[in-house]
């Protein structure tokens, strides 16, 4: 019988792609989500259990009903900029939420956890590319909340034998290569969807947060990693943890940085559409450059990212955006356009098409 994996945040962007990858690999994903950020339409590869992370009774009931072999934990707040203005929200959900989940795992006898972490734990890089041994000096509450969560995992591994792998993503990008699911945050704060929404005419312009950073063109440099490659790394980490103990961490990125200007330029190329951009003040809490050394994940997990090209990431995200908003002609410049029967229904998104 297929092993069940409980996926908190399984209706969200990365969580839903991981559910698809789990199902493909022969597991049975059960999504646990409160649907505040997540979407019912994104849960397609197993059941959806509605619930809050803070609700221990509900977690106990779901664990008792499904007997998961392991948990993958994605349910968290993720916007670095917002975390500077509302730190309590981040510590509450990202740290207290994890404590609640771990307590339920212990009550239910589940001892394996793959944890969604971030490059934001490192703060301003002292060297590049960044490996897992780089000092952790987060410069925003989001990164600090994830660093604390990782510390909690290490202490629970030591005290209670919980086995964990924290996967530190650099910048998640792209959408399901089959076009079935993709990114849909509300409000959207991430660069790539904002750039593509501007290309689609859904926004008037992209606001570039600062052009005086110590980078080649003055705008921030990030390492974009395809969400399907992230999903693959999670399945690998889950299997790898099966006969391991302790708390482990892996960077996930491609080792190549692109500036905000380069992303906008690439999106003009991929979409063949004009994209207006205007520079404003830098956003608080943004390091100038974040580029991964992911050789640990490559060596230990055998991870080989398939979609490392920025253009491929953008074209998958563009195709997803086009199908989601049913944009006239927006997808026609894209290769491998899938049939409209695979679209997430626009009305389920509350969007006008
Ligand atoms: N960014 C920007 N304009 C936007 C959104 C983001 O210039 O409307 C920049 C942001 O300052 C950062 C990069 O794009 O340098 C990636 O930001 P995003 O929010 O996508 O991810 P983060 O790096 O914060 O996880």
Å from CA of 222 to ligand 1 middle = 9
Please, what's the b/e burial string for 179-205 (b: 16 or more CB within 10 A of its CB; e: otherwise)?
bbbbbbeeebeebbbbbbbbbbebbee
How distant is the alpha carbon of residue 66 from its chain centre?
Answer: 25
Ligand 1 near 194 CB (within 6 A): yes
Ligand 1 near 183 CB (within 6 A): no
Q: What value does the mean pLDDT of the chain take?
A: 93
pLDDT at 187 (0 to 100) = 92
User: Are 68 and 110 within 8 A, CB to CB?
Assistant: yes
Confidence class for position 338, pLDDT limits 50, 70, 90: very low
If you average pLDDT over residues 276-301, what whole number do you get? 96
What's the pLDDT tens digit per position in 111-145?
999 999 999 999 999 999 999 999 999 999 999 99
pLDDT at 335 (0 to 100) = 34
Instruction: Say whether 178 sits in a helix, a strand or coil.
Output: coil
Domains (ranges, CATH) in the chain? Answer: 4-172+226-252 (3.40.50.720), 175-223+254-335 (3.90.25.10)
Tell me which of 13, 32, 142, 213 is the catalytic residue.
142
**pLDDT above 90 (res 327):** no
The lowest-confidence range among 40-49, 201-210, 310-319, 336-345 is: 336-345
- Residues in CB range of 302: below 8 A, 6 or more apart: 236
If you average pLDDT over residues 163-177, what whole number do you get? 98
Rounded Cα distance, 57 and 340, in Å: 41
Extract the tokens encoding 39: 């979407």
Confidence class for position 158, pLDDT limits 50, 70, 90: very high
Based on the number of CB atoms within 10 Å of its own CB, is 242 exposed (0-12), middle (13-18) or buried (19 or more)? exposed
pLDDT at 341 (0 to 100) = 32
Å from CA of 143 to ligand 1 middle = 14
> What is the best residue among 222, 261, 264, 276 to mutate for testing ligand 1's pocket, by most ligand atoms within 8 Å of CB?
222
Active site residue 142: yes
Å from CA of 50 to ligand 1 middle = 30
Rounded Cα distance, 191 and 197, in Å: 10
What's the pLDDT tens digit per position in 305-326?
999 999 999 999 999 999 998 7
Confidence class for position 172, pLDDT limits 50, 70, 90: very high
Backbone angles phi, psi at 26, to 5 degrees: 95, 10
Among protein residues, the one whose CA lies closest to atom 10 of ligand 1:
209
Ligand 1 near 78 CB (within 6 A): no
If you average pLDDT over residues 19-38, what whole number do you get? 98
Ligand 1 near 209 CB (within 6 A): yes
pLDDT at 331 (0 to 100) = 44
pLDDT at 1 (0 to 100) = 83
If you average pLDDT over residues 59-74, what whole number do you get? 98
User: Are 11 and 76 within 8 A, CB to CB?
Assistant: no
Rounded Cα distance, 145 and 88, in Å: 10
Rounded Cα distance, 279 and 284, in Å: 15
If you average pLDDT over residues 88-110, what whole number do you get? 98
Å from CA of 104 to ligand 1 middle = 35
**pLDDT above 70 (res 350):** no
**pLDDT above 60 (res 339):** no
105 vs 23, 143, 147, 173, 174, CA distance in Å?
A: 22, 24, 21, 30, 32
What's the pLDDT tens digit per position in 254-287?
999 999 999 999 999 999 999 999 999 999 889 9
Length of the chain: 353
> What is the best residue among 187, 191, 257, 264 to mutate for testing ligand 1's pocket, by most ligand atoms within 8 Å of CB?
191
Among 151, 177, 187, 188, smallest CA distance to 166 is for 151
What's the pLDDT tens digit per position in 77-96?
999 999 999 999 999 999 99
What is the secondary structure of 26-72 as a DSSP string?
Answer: T-EEEEEE-SSSS-GGG--SS-EEE--TT-HHHHHHHHHHH--SEEE
- Rounded percentage of the chain residues whose pLDDT exceeds 90: 90
Ligand 1 near 286 CB (within 6 A): yes
User: Are 11 and 68 within 8 A, CB to CB?
Assistant: no
Å from CA of 346 to ligand 1 middle = 26
Rounded Cα distance, 248 and 239, in Å: 13
Rounded Cα distance, 122 and 290, in Å: 9
pLDDT at 329 (0 to 100) = 52
pLDDT at 326 (0 to 100) = 77
**pLDDT above 60 (res 104):** yes
């Amino acid at each position: 019988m297929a092993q069940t994996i409980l996926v908190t945040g399984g209706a969200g962007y990365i969580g839903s792609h991981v559910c698809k990858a789990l199902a493909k690999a022969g597991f049975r994903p059960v999504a646990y989500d409160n649907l505040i950020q997540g979407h019912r339409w994104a849960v397609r590869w197993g059941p959806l259990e509605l619930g809050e992370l803070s609700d221990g009774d509900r977690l106990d009931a779901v664990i008792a009903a499904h007997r998961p072999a392991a948990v993958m934990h994605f349910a968290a707040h993720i916007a670095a900029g917002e975390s500077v203005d509302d730190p309590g929200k981040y510590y509450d959900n990202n740290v207290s939420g994890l404590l609640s989940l771990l307590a339920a795992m212990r009550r239910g006898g589940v001892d394996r956890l793959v944890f969604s972490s971030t490059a934001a734990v490192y703060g301003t890089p002292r060297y590049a590319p960044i490996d897992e041994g780089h000092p952790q000096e987060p410069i925003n509450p989001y990164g600090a909340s994830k660093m604390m969560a990782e510390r909690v995992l290490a202490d629970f591994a030591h005290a209670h034998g919980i086995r964990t792998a924290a996967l530190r993503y650099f910048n998640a990008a792209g959408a399901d290569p089959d076009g079935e699911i993709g990114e849909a945050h509300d409000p959207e704060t991430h660069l790539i969807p904002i750039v593509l929404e501007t290309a689609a005419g859904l926004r008037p312009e992209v606001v570039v947060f600062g052009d005086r950073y110590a980078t080649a063109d003055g705008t921030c440099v990030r390492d974009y990693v395809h969400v399907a490659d992230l999903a693959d790394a999670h399945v690998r980490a889950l299997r790898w943890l099966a006969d391991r103990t302790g708390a482990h961490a892996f960077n996930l990125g491609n080792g190549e940085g692109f500036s905000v200007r380069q992303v906008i330029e690439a999106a003009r190329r991929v979409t063949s559409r004009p994209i207006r951009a205007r520079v404003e003040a830098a956003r608080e809490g943004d390091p100038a450059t974040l580029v991964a050394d992911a050789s640990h994940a490559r060596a230990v997990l055998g991870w080989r990212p398939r979609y490392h090209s920025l253009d491929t990431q953008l074209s998958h995200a563009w195709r997803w955006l086009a199908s989601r908003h049913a944009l006239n002609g927006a997808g026609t410049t894209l290769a491998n356009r899938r049939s409209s029967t695979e679209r997430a229904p626009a009305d389920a998104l509350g969007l006008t098409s």
